[in-house]
Amino acid sequence: MTTYVARRLLQTIFLLFLLSIILFALVNLAPGGPLASYGQGRRLRPEQAEILKRQFGLDKPLPLQYVYWLVGNDWTKVDTNGDGVPDEQGSRKGILRGDFGFSYRTRKPVLNEIGLRFPNTIYLMGITMAVALLVALPIGIISAVKQYSLFDLFATTFSFAGQAIPEFWLGLLLIIVFYAWLRNPFTGEPLLPSGGMTSLEGAASLSDRISHLILPVLTGTLGWIAWYSRFLRSSMLEVLPKDFLRTARAKGLPERMVIYKHGLRNAIIPLVTVLALDIPYIFTGAVLTETIFSWPGMGRLYYQSAVERDYPLLLAILIIGAAFIILSNLLADILYAYLDPRIRYQ
């Protein structure tokens, strides 16, 4: 297992290097460029555009920009403000040494911008994924055990509806119903807030935080519950007729132990792959959900950086997100060996 993990980690390094080249090229070759947002509402004079290009390092050839972005250029200071004096902001250590540069929009370090929003995304997406699993696993198991029952038909219908409803449409619908239409019978205020993490007057209140979580979590969990429950139902239906479950019943084991200890442990293995692909959402966040509900997380930050062409911030989110995806797949492979003793990696 140690040899397998070491080999996969080496493959991960090479894959991330290739991804960094592809992502850097695609982002920087996109139409517009980072100066396009500066031209909105006012026209830049040529000398102003040249100063901005020098500040952002856009006056260098694209391959040299990639080298600076990857390994840094701290061996030489750069004049970024046009006053003829080299300054610290013009030099950077490169992403290989943990320096993702400065945001074009805020002029603050990229990792500081990510650090401010990362806990908010973990807070929202962690709760969303936990609620989705707590609801989806029992639904999938019961639907498989009681196949073609009324519960199974209802769960199947719910799964198709949950996968078909667009997330942005559901979020807007929930805002209309619970914020615009329904009112608190005691205060006359909207039943649930339409966005944000807390209200200004209830920043430290637990009930206020929970009320702000309800609509984003409902929007995010519906699709996951539908997907996970349907996937687990299909996997359980393949396991239930197996001979080892008949043997467990013949030994006199309780039906609950047969289903949950022997059946579920084998049926949940394919679900691990699906979960591994969704784990990066805990870092990157849900772009639509966070944008609709004004949640200050990574998904909204990604959207803002893409719209405003904040390339250093956008590239940092893409690269770190790609690393999370690759490492989560490695984690899935390791969990395979733990859940299924027949699997051994050499």
pTM across the whole model: 0.84
In DSSP notation, 78-125 reads B--SSSS--BGGG----GGGT---B-TTT-SBHHHHHHHHHHHHHHHH
Higher-pLDDT residue of 251, 79: 251
Residue 139 has pLDDT above 90, yes or no: yes
What 193-200 contacts at long range (C-beta under 8 Å, 24+ apart), as own/partner pairs, is 194/293, 194/294, 195/292, 195/293, 195/294, 195/295, 196/293, 196/294, 196/295, 196/296, 197/120, 197/123, 197/295, 197/296
List, in sequence order, every residue forming a beta bridge with 87; answer none if it has no partner.
78
Q: What average pLDDT does the segment 321-331 reach? A: 84
Q: What is the pLDDT of residue 46?
A: 74
C-alpha span between 237 and 265 (Å, rounded): 13
B/e letters for 15-46, b = 16+ CB within 10 Å, e = fewer, are eeeebbeebbeebbeeeebbbeebeeeeeeee
In this prediction, residue 52 has a pLDDT band, given cuts at 50, 70 and 90, of: confident
C-alpha span between 209 and 203 (Å, rounded): 8
Determine the straight-line distance between the first and last CA of the chain, rounded to whole angstroms: 6
Q: What is the pLDDT of residue 41?
A: 45
In this prediction, residue 340 has a pLDDT band, given cuts at 50, 70 and 90, of: low
Q: What is the pLDDT of residue 21?
A: 94
Residues 6 or more apart whose Cβ sits within 8 Å of residue 6: none
Mean pLDDT over the full length of the chain: 84
What would the pLDDT profile of 116-133 be if each residue is shown by its tens digit?
A: 999 999 999 999 999 999
C-alpha span between 89 and 79 (Å, rounded): 9
CATH superfamily of 110-339: MetI-like (1.10.3720.10)
Other residues' Cβ atoms within 10 Å of the Cβ of residue 101: 23
Other residues' Cβ atoms within 10 Å of the Cβ of residue 312: 24
Q: What average pLDDT does the segment 209-236 reach? A: 92
C-alpha span between 251 and 86 (Å, rounded): 79
C-alpha span between 209 and 171 (Å, rounded): 18
Say which amino acid occupies 247.
Answer: T
List, in sequence order, every residue forming a beta bridge with 109; answer none if it has no partner.
102
Residue spans per domain, the chain = 2-97, 110-339
Closest CA to 128 of 218, 230, 231: 218
Say which amino acid occupies 45.
Answer: R
List, in sequence order, every residue forming a beta bridge with 183; answer none if it has no partner.
190
Instruction: Indicate the burial class of 99 (C-beta count within 10 angstroms; 0-12, 13-18, 19 or more).
Output: middle
What would the pLDDT profile of 158-184 be if each residue is shown by its tens digit?
A: 888 888 899 889 999 999 999 999 998
Higher-pLDDT residue of 203, 119: 119
